[in-house]
Amino acid sequence: MKGSTKKKVIQFFGFFLLRCCLFLVLAVLLLFLYDIGSKGGGAISWEFLSTAPRRGMTEGGIYPAIIGTFLVTMITAVLAIPLGMCAAIYLNEYAKQSRLTRLIRLSIRNLSGVPSIVYGLFGVILFVNILRFGTSILSAGLTLGLMTLPWTITASEEALKTIPNSYREGALALGATKWQSIRTNVLPYAIPGMLTGTVLGLARAAGETAPIMFTGAAFFLPMLPKSLGDQFMALPYHLFIMSTQHHAIVQVRPLAYATALVLIVLVLGLNMTAVIVRYRLRRKHR
Amino acid sequence: MSAEALKIRMETRDLDFYYGSKKALDKVNIACYENRVTAIIGPSGCGKSTFIRTLNRMNDVIAGARVEGTILLDGRDIRLPDVDVVDLRRRVGMVFQKPNPFPKSIFDNIAYGLRINGMRDKKRLEAVVEGSLRGAALWDEVKDRLDENAFSLSGGQQQRLCIARALAVEPEVILFDEPCSAIDPIATAKIEDLIETLKKRYTVVIVTHNMQQAARVSDFTAFMMLGELVEFGVTEKIFTNPVNKLTEDYITGRFG
Amino acid sequence: MTKKTTGRLKESAIRAFFFACGVLAVIALLGIFATLISTSFPAFKDIKLSEFLLSKNWDPTSPEMEEYGILSMIMSSFIVTLGALLIAVPIGVGVAAYLSDVAHWRVREIVKPVVEILAGIPSVVVGFLGIVLFAPLISKIFNIGHGLTALNGSILLAIMSLPTIISISEDSLTAVPPAYGEASLALGASRWQTLFRVKLPAALSGIIAACMLGMGRAIGETMTVLMATGNARTFPQLPQALLRSVRTMTANIAIELGEVPYYTAHYYALFAIGLVLFVITFVVNLVADVVLHKYQEREL
């Protein structure tokens, strides 16, 4: 009897400890969101969102950075979404169990573990130097696209896996070719899921700094870029500058907070939409 | 009823089947006669589903699957390199264990097989859809709701929809892979009646774990165990006077 | 017949197209590796490999004697990462165990997406919070001039690797066959004992893989450490190093690549650091992958 009481006490404290771990994590997240929300919210105004920085970036807004991040994310999407989806279609629909398939999967998993700064180095060599795109939106977008590719592949494959095999077999049994069965009976139902998964990848790419630092992001540009060959301002890089490189860091801290808030709203907004939609879709397919 | 007078539509000769290194079928010889129903029975895992899926090469899809031996459709080996598997599957239709309507409207489900073969003519599509649904004894139940999603149908109706969908591409042989295992007894009776009428126009092969069903609907029965064909013959004879002791034990319910 | 042939041709062409997209991943990985090797190679015309890897002094712009030793940075990267793991592993595994074994499924359904939100916070924002939130706190608690230290970096990296550790550990705990737990409970063990003595050991390989993946992410993280660890070029001595500024490999590349003249020994040396970083993360991820796969195969 004593033993069982002791067991219960230990279990009580054990579970309590685990619960504390969870509360700690949630508290950190809340602290983050609260700090940025409360201190950044005050500095946000229409002017902040719609004008360029002024007076050595101690006044004014972040409009060029918003536009720059938007443009570079578009390039990322153009590279990573179609390629990622097609690679996922190959892996989930066509690939047989073979050494090559295993190699491809291994490469994808390892690509997603390559540090973002290494992608930056690769971008400098391939896009900036070899392909002569210079430091530009194009180079930065392609670098980010490459980095996003393994995420979009994995996410798209997850979406394809939720489509029951009976859709494929049913189509094949009626005399559909492989591609017909995929095109008419798999993709229409998988594409919403594939897109939400890839949006998650894009959201992460939009918040990345290291890969764009040396491939196209600029310290300060009052004008908007005129072409994809121009340099650009980006929200995450702007936040980095405002919080560590500025000559009057303390003075511009409110602007840095506001930039962080805009960035986080943008990234988490995309993120949460995708997560919610994905949860709904999962329910539907069950 | 003498077997010799009938025409053989499909036939397997010394059919072996492997999943990787595991042998799932061992020297199976079965003939399927025109306008007759051939039932494949046996305990679970005996290879009956594997067998029926080789007849329209659905097993090609499975990684590591390998077939040896001969499978003939009208005397021609369906595994020859110049045989188009897509064309083969149109000629040899299949109805699966679980009803698998596509998440489309009833009309689009039936029209699917025609559309992928390039038919766009609305009038003809409508005619074929009606004909197929009538053929599957479903027309009267769904004629006013062809635009509804196929998932709104009951399980038994879904299975008849799948039969209608198979009929629409005008197959010559129809394979049923345990078509009633996922539906209720009343719906099962309807499908059995349907099979009875279908055999007037088609060659029918049915896999079933239900011996009474085999006895009711089939003309020929093959009894399989552990990947081997134990006995094949006229259904009546198999059920009343089997040659093999194993067959007798199985149909009298001593194991299963 | 011709229609059939063109049909088949079309199918093969489509297949080939998708295959090309799939193989691109392999090409990209090889391409990154090849680029790093070929760009770092010229560095070793001027720098001895042994000096590069084993010397503690990095001073490429010195007027008298240029020095290219990255040992301090390697050590700094490892210290910051190790600190992060010491914080993140117990908490992460604890959360995973709570979610898989204690929490109501409804709590789990809510918490899992919330943890994903944490994963979605950009590293530059985490670094910013390191500067404005954690660093002042550290400087106050330990009574030091500023809080931009290795410890600060460790805390932030721990927060960033938590989502990876939590979600993969939770997956592997959930994948433990229920029969194991039931058998233990039937013998009179409490749920806590079952969790601790049966389920955690059974899921161990998955949890180890989760920690390795978290580690890979922490070593390669750039912006956070660049902003939050002070970037002093000194050799870190444990244990004081936790409260000193350190400069990791990633931070060093980020700081110097912008100012370095192209095609000099210094430029190539930065790529060589990138190569070292690539090799380390590659090995860590590969080991995690092998561990994770072994365990998945066993489950099958």
Q: What are the distances in angstroms from CA C32 to CA A102, A121, A239, B129, B157?
A: 19, 9, 28, 55, 56
Residue B207 falls in which region: left (phi positive, over 0), alpha (psi -120 to 50) or beta: beta
Q: Name the interface residues of A facing B (CB cutoff 8 Å).
A: 96-97, 164, 166-177, 180, 184-185, 189
Residues of chain C with C-beta less than 8 angstroms from the C-beta of A36: 125, 129
CATH pick for C52-299 out of 1.10.10.60, 1.10.3720.10, 3.30.470.20, 2.60.260.20: 1.10.3720.10
pLDDT value of residue B157: 92
Subunits in contact with chain B (3 or more CB pairs closer than 8 Å): A, C
Residue of B nearest to A169 (CA): B58
Q: Is residue A39 part of a domain?
A: no
**Interchain CB contact of A213 with C (< 8 Å):** yes
Please write down the HEC assignment for all residues of chain C.
CHHHHHHHHHHHHHHHHHHHHHHHHHHHHHHHHHHHHHHHCCHHHHCCHHHHHHCCCEECCCCCCCEECCHHHHHHHHHHHHHHHHHHHHHHHHHHHHHHHHCCHHHHHHHHHHHHHHHHCCHHHHHHHHHHHHHHHHHHHCCCCCCCCHHHHHHHHHHHHHHHHHHHHHHHHHCCCHHHHHHHHHCCCCHHHHHHHHHHHHCHHHHHHHHHHHHHHHHHCCHHHHHHCECCCCCCCCCHHHHCCECCHHHHHHHHHCCCCCCCHHHHHHHHHHHHHHHHHHHHHHHHHHHHHHHHHHHC
Residues of chain B with C-beta less than 8 angstroms from the C-beta of A164: 100
Residue C296, both tokens: 């998945």
Alpha carbon of residue C262 to chain centroid: 29
The secondary element (H helix, E strand) that includes residue B206 is strand B203-207
> Using an 8 Å Cβ cutoff, are B190 and B160 in contact?
yes
Residue A3, both tokens: 């033993």
Q: Give residue for tokens 């943008």.
A: A266
Residue of A nearest to C27 (CA): A107
DSSP A236-266: HHHHHIIIII-TTTTTTHHHHHHHHHHHHHH
Residue A201, both tokens: 């990848």
Residue B168, both tokens: 């629409």
Cα torsion C201, C206, C212, C213: sign: negative
**Interchain CB contact of A250 with C (< 8 Å):** no
Number of other residues whose CB lies within 10 A of the CB of residue C205:
18
- Inter-chain touch A8–C190, beta carbons under 8 Å: yes
Alpha carbon of residue B166 to chain centroid: 10
pLDDT value of residue C147: 85
- Inter-chain touch A174–B64, beta carbons under 8 Å: no
Tell me the average pLDDT across C19-30: 92
Subunits in contact with chain C (3 or more CB pairs closer than 8 Å): A, B
Q: Is residue A229 part of a domain?
A: yes
Q: Is residue B143 part of a domain?
A: yes
pLDDT value of residue C299: 44
Question: B254 vs chain A: nearest CA distance in angstroms?
Answer: 34
Residues sharing a CB contact under 8 Å with residue A201, sequence separation 6 or more, in sequence order: A80, A84, A148, A151, A152, A155
Q: CB contacts < 8 Å between B and C, how many?
A: 5
Q: How confident is the model at residue C50 (pLDDT cuts 50, 70, 90)?
A: confident
- Inter-chain touch C94–A208, beta carbons under 8 Å: no
> Cα-flanking dihedrals φ and ψ of residue A52, to 5°?
-85, 160
Residue B201 sits in which domain range? Answer: 3-251
Q: Is residue A252 part of a domain?
A: yes
Q: Please determine, for residue C297, whether its predicted confidence score (pLDDT) is greater than 70.
A: no
Amino acid found at B58: M
Tell me the average pLDDT across C205-224: 91
Tell me the average pLDDT across C79-107: 92
Domains in chain A: how many in total? 1
Q: Is residue B256 part of a domain?
A: no
CATH code at position A152: 1.10.3720.10
ipTM: 0.90
Q: Is residue B110 part of a domain?
A: yes
- Inter-chain touch C8–B84, beta carbons under 8 Å: yes
Report the alpha-carbon distance of residue A130 to residue B4 in Å, rounded.
Answer: 76
pLDDT value of residue A286: 46
- Inter-chain touch B87–C7, beta carbons under 8 Å: no
Q: Is A261 exposed, middle or buried (0-12, 13-18, 19+ CB in 10 A)?
A: buried
> Using an 8 Å Cβ cutoff, are C140 and C170 in contact?
no
Residues of chain A with C-beta less than 8 angstroms from the C-beta of C220: 113-118
| For testing contact with chain C, the best of B60, B83, B85, B86 (most C CBs within 10 A) | B86
User: Residue ranges of the domains in chain C?
Assistant: 2-40, 52-299
- Inter-chain touch A189–B94, beta carbons under 8 Å: no
Q: Is residue A244 part of a domain?
A: yes
DSSP B59: G
Q: What's the longest Cα–Cα distance across chain B? A: 57
Domains in chain B: how many in total? 1
> Using an 8 Å Cβ cutoff, are B150 and B105 in contact?
yes
> Using an 8 Å Cβ cutoff, are B45 and B224 in contact?
no
pLDDT in 10s for each residue of chain A, 286 residues: 567 788 888 888 989 999 999 999 999 999 999 999 999 888 888 888 887 777 777 777 889 999 999 999 999 999 999 999 999 999 999 998 888 998 999 899 899 889 999 999 999 999 998 999 988 999 999 999 999 999 999 999 989 998 999 999 999 999 899 999 999 999 999 998 898 888 888 998 999 999 999 998 888 877 888 888 888 899 999 999 989 888 777 888 889 999 999 999 999 888 888 877 777 776 665 4
Instruction: Using a cut of 0.80, tell me whether the model's pTM lies above it.
Output: yes
Report the alpha-carbon distance of residue C264 to residue C42 in Å, rounded.
Answer: 9
In degrees, rounded to 5, the angle at the alpha carbon of residue A106 between the alpha carbons of residues A105 and A110 is 120
pLDDT in 10s for each residue of chain B, 256 residues: 454 578 899 999 999 999 888 899 999 999 999 999 999 999 888 889 999 999 999 888 787 888 999 999 998 899 888 888 888 999 999 999 999 999 999 999 999 999 988 888 899 999 999 999 998 889 999 999 999 999 999 999 999 999 999 999 999 999 999 999 888 898 899 999 999 999 999 999 999 988 889 999 999 999 999 989 999 999 999 999 999 999 998 888 877 6
Alpha carbon of residue A233 to chain centroid: 18
CA nearest neighbour of B223 among B202, B203, B208: B208
| For testing contact with chain A, the best of C6, C9, C29 (most A CBs within 10 A) | C29
Q: Please determine, for residue C300, whether its predicted confidence score (pLDDT) is greater than 50.
A: no
Report the alpha-carbon distance of residue B13 to residue A166 in Å, rounded.
Answer: 29
Residues of chain A with C-beta less than 8 angstroms from the C-beta of C294: none
Residue A184 sits in which domain range? Answer: 62-285
Q: How confident is the model at residue C58 (pLDDT cuts 50, 70, 90)?
A: confident
pLDDT value of residue C255: 92
Report the alpha-carbon distance of residue A95 to residue A102 in Å, rounded.
Answer: 10
